[in-house]
Structure formats: C-alpha cells, structure tokens
Structure 1
Amino acid sequence: MKITKIEKKKRLYLLEIDQKESLYVTEDTIVKYMLTKGMTIDKKQLEDIKIFAQFSHGKNLALYYISFKQRTEKEVKDYLFKHDINPHIIPKIITNLKKDHWIDDYKLLESLAQQNLNSGDKGAYVLKQKWQQKGCDKQVIDDILIQFDFSEVAMKVAEKLLRKYQGKLPAKALKDKLTQSLINKGFSFQESKLAINQLELEPDEETEQALLYKEIDKQYNKFSKKYNGYELKQRLTQSLARKGYDFDAIASALREYL
C-alpha cells in the first residue's frame, strides 16, 4: 500500500492510501511515523497509524476541553465519547492524561472545596451530591470533605439569610426558615443550629405584632368568605400558628380583631 496524498485540513491531515482509502490523522501521527507522500506501508503499519491517530486526536480534544477549566475524569470521558472517539481507546487517553496530571479528581475537588470555603455558600452534603453527579469516586469525595470545616460558611450564609428575612417573619418562623434554608444548601442540622444560635434573633414585639395583624388581615379575607363565628376563629388560629405565630399572641390579637 502506498500513501498517495497528505493534505492539511484545519487541525488534521487527510491521508489517502492507494487513491482509495482515506483517513484523518493528527500532526503527531505524521511526525511519529514519518509519513510522506509516496511512502509504502503494510496492513500492520496502517492499523497502528489508525490507532495512534485516534489516540492522538482524542488526547488533543481532551486537552482542548480541559484548557477552559479543570474537569473530572468522567467529564473528559463523556466529552470524548460524545466526539466519537473509539470507546476502546478512551481509557488509554485517560490514563495518559492522569499520568501527566492533566486529570486529577483529588486535586480538583480539593480546589473546589477551598473555593467554596473562601467565597461559596454550599455545605458538604450539596457538594458531595454535585461531585457524585460529575462521576467522582465516593471515597475521594469523603476524603476531601473530611478535611474542611464548613461552620464559617454556614455562618456567612445564615447572616445573609437573616438580612433577607428579618422583619418579614415572626421569630419562630424566621428560625425555622433559616434552619431549612441552611439544610437545603447542604449544611448539617448541627452546623445550621450552631450558626443560627450565634445570630441575634431576639424578637421585636412591635414588629411581631405588626406582622401578626397584617397576616390576620390576609387570612381573614381568605376564610371569612366561607366561615364565621367559632369555625372562622379556629381556621384563623390554625393558619396563623402554622406560620409561626405564638398561640397566646394569636388569641389576644383575635379577641381584638373579631
């Protein structure tokens, strides 16, 4: 078999064999096998060239993908598969990239955890879930997360949430809201509790009362269309209690309101 054409096509080269068969190869393939027009090759050499061309092309694609930001091993695998790299060659590419430290899930997760500590707002549970979705090994994730203390992040998030909700909810509802919000962001119940205990959550009686009467107006307009008397009072009491208002405060307000 003879190479009858070598033609550059953007990032790849078109290799023509006996004016019949053609394939695309990388520049590294040209250099490695010292390919030239008119060169004679046998079937074994052609097969080697095809395999290396796929490996080289796949590695170049992976390096291009990684150049934008660090990627997990699974993300790179998925990217190569999506770009039609031979599934049998992908493991070899991954091994090569890991050997040269282009892929290192441990260091990547360590860096992401540190970034979250410095400027993020997630707890360990959410980070673990996100990293597992990226295909990272559970043991690697656990080894990383155990090194970090998320209590300061929880505190920063709690303070931000307090600024958002303070004056809009009664004390009990506010505390519940903060706790649930922190848990939703991946902090443990204990981390959430410790962060909230450090906040100044002393109820302001005037604010609480204003909020209560505002809520009574809203709920009264809703329930008075269907209920009256004792049943209306019960509906209002239950609804207000669910929203975190104190039973004694509700009873007192309703005596004046109804």
Structure 2
Amino acid sequence: MPTVTKISKQKKIADRYNIFLDESYSFSVTEDILIKYNLRKGLHLSENEIEKITEHESFHRSYIQAIHFLSYRMRSKREIETYLQKKEVAPDVIEEIVNRLEREKHINDLEFANSFVRDRINHSSKGPRLIVNELKDKGVAVEIAKEAVKQYGYDQQVETALKWAEKQMKRKSSHSYNKQIEQLKLKLTQKGYQNDVIHQVITEVTPPLDKQEELAALKKQADKLYNRYKKRYSGYELKMKLKASLYQRGFQGELINEYVADLDD
C-alpha cells in the first residue's frame, strides 16, 4: 500500500501542498483537503483512497474557480456552466458545482436578471425587448427575464428613449423630415421599445416642419438625382423619375412640385 513519505508546501501557491508517495511526487492538494483527509507523513493510502482524494481535490479546485469567476460580478447559471465547460470540467462535476452554488445562493437567475435589468436601465438606452433578448442569450429563462424587466416602467422607458431620441434629432441630416422620423421610429424599435413608448417619444421629440430646411434638404438630394437621371431621361420622363425618387425619400408633394416646376424656368 503506498505510503506518504513527504509533504511540501508549494512556493507559488500559498495554501497548496505536494504529496509524495513512496518518495515520488503523486498529486497536490489544497490545505482544506490536506486537513480533511488528515494527510501526514507515514500515512498509508489505498488506491481507492487516493482516487477519492484526487476527485475531491479536482471538484474543490473547479469550485474555487467558479467562485473566483463570480467575484467580478453576478453570473447566470448558464454563464457558470459555460465557463466550467471551457475549463474542461466533467459534466457531472459541473452539475454538482452548480447545484452547490445554488444551495449556497451564489447563483440565482432571478436575482441576476433583476440586477442585469437595473444595470441596463441606469447605463444604457436599450428598451425592454432588447434587454429580455440579452438575458435569454445568457441562458435566463424567458419567464424569469420577463418578470425582471417589469421593473422597467413605462414612464422610465419614455424618459430614457426621449433622451436618446433628442440627441439623434440634434444631428445634422440631409434626409427629409418624414425620413428622419421614419428612421427614428425604426431605431427605437430596434432598441427594443414598444409602439406606445415610440409614439409618445416621437410626439414629444419631433419639432414642427421647417419648410426652408426641408427645401434645402430636398434640393441637395434632387440636384444629385437630376444630374444622374438627365443622362438617361429627359422631359416628362425625367420629371416623373425625379418625383418618384423624391417621394420615396419622404419629401412632401408640394415641395417636390416646386422643385420640378423650377426645372422649366
């Protein structure tokens, strides 16, 4: 039966010990494992005892890695599982570690989701649908994600989306008034807001149409289109082609007609 002939403390890792059996290095353990199994010089160990100790040590090491991973921020159950898989921890050991972490309340997907939503509310302009999708990507169940996002109320959504939309509207644009509103609606939808919030924001953020600015934007785009189309079209066909393209860009018929009428002058 193998005998412990030497126990030496590792230099780089303070609470880790090398175990020598019959004068040869066999395995290493943490101080907790050393104490738990009363490992000492002269102790005889059977093969089953050695296997049990090394399995316990492997579990303990992976568990500590998971705790370290959790020390930076809260994690979802799926994130912990994925992290341990990358560390090549056996599936049954991962399951055992995750169960222990849940029992010890180190991981709780509802608490994680609630914290995640609060962070997004305070540090992003994302809407609830996008936040729910982010939680789903992290392995959080849909029902838990939807429960957590309830804390993101309508008024707060409008306030956040409005701040973002105001910044967007301050940017210079060569697009038509209608096109700018259409693009803003699309972006708000992509950011995860519902139609009622989008409608409220658009109502509050949209300034009255400035005819001079709109006409300047139209002229800028129409001049480019005219120079492109006149190489292939002329007369009535050229005007209709111009009108169709400008309508598609959201310009109003009255302004389009003014521009096209000026072509005859």
| Same-fold status (TM-score > 0.5) | yes
State the match for 1:53 in structure 2: 57
1:144 pairs with 148, 163, 173, which one? 148
Coordinate RMSD, CA, aligned: 2.1
**How far 1:199 sits from its partner (Å)?**
1.6
Please tell me whether the aligned partners of residues 161 and 201 of structure 2 are also in contact (alpha carbons under 8 angstroms): yes
AA aligned to 2:147 is: D
**How far 1:178 sits from its partner (Å)?**
0.8
141-150 vs 96-105, greater mean Cα deviation: 96-105
State the match for 2:170 in structure 1: 163
State the match for 2:96 in structure 1: 92
Tell me the TM-score normalised to structure 2 length.
Answer: 0.88
Q: In 2, distance between residues paired with 1:38 and 1:230? A: 105
Q: Report the secondary structure of 1:34's partner residue.
A: coil
**How far 1:19 sits from its partner (Å)?**
5.2
Q: In 1, distance between residues paired with 2:199 and 2:6? A: 72
State the match for 1:236 in structure 2: 242
AA aligned to 1:151 is: V
**How far 1:47 sits from its partner (Å)?**
2.6
Q: In 1, distance between residues paired with 2:83 and 2:28? A: 19
State the match for 1:181 in structure 2: 187
Q: In 1, distance between residues paired with 2:261 and 2:229? A: 17
Aligned residues: 257
2:223 pairs with 217, 228, 231, which one? 217
**How far 1:144 sits from its partner (Å)?**
0.6
AA aligned to 1:86 is: A
Q: Which runs of structure 2 are paired with 1:62-211 in the superposition (5 Å)?
A: 62-149=66-153, 150-164=157-171, 168-211=174-217
Q: Check 1:80–1:5 CA distance in 2 against 1; reply closer, same or farther (3 A cut).
A: farther
State the match for 1:3 in structure 2: 4
Q: Check 1:163–1:16 CA distance in 2 against 1; reply closer, same or farther (3 A cut).
A: farther
Q: Check 1:241–1:42 CA distance in 2 against 1; reply closer, same or farther (3 A cut).
A: same
User: Can you list the C-alpha shifts for 1:182-230, whole angstroms capped at 9, x where unaligned?
Assistant: 0111111221111111124211111011111111112122222322222
Please tell me whether the aligned partners of residues 19 and 29 of structure 2 are also in contact (alpha carbons under 8 angstroms): yes
172-181 vs 31-40, greater mean Cα deviation: 31-40
Q: Check 1:5–1:248 CA distance in 2 against 1; reply closer, same or farther (3 A cut).
A: farther
AA aligned to 2:163 is: K
**How far 1:236 sits from its partner (Å)?**
1.5
The share of aligned pairs that are identical, in percent, is 28
Q: Check 1:36–1:233 CA distance in 2 against 1; reply closer, same or farther (3 A cut).
A: farther
198-207 vs 221-230, greater mean Cα deviation: 221-230
Q: Check 1:218–1:44 CA distance in 2 against 1; reply closer, same or farther (3 A cut).
A: same
Q: Check 1:18–1:80 CA distance in 2 against 1; reply closer, same or farther (3 A cut).
A: farther
AA aligned to 2:259 is: A
AA aligned to 1:45 is: E
Q: Report the secondary structure of 1:88's partner residue.
A: helix
Tell me the TM-score normalised to structure 1 length.
Answer: 0.90
Q: In 1, distance between residues paired with 2:191 and 2:213? A: 28
List alignment gaps of at least 5 residues for structure 1.
none
Q: In 2, distance between residues paired with 1:114 and 1:218? A: 47
**How far 1:135 sits from its partner (Å)?**
1.0
**How far 1:83 sits from its partner (Å)?**
1.0
Q: In 2, distance between residues paired with 1:16 and 1:228? A: 94
Please tell me whether the aligned partners of residues 168 and 211 of structure 1 are also in contact (alpha carbons under 8 angstroms): yes
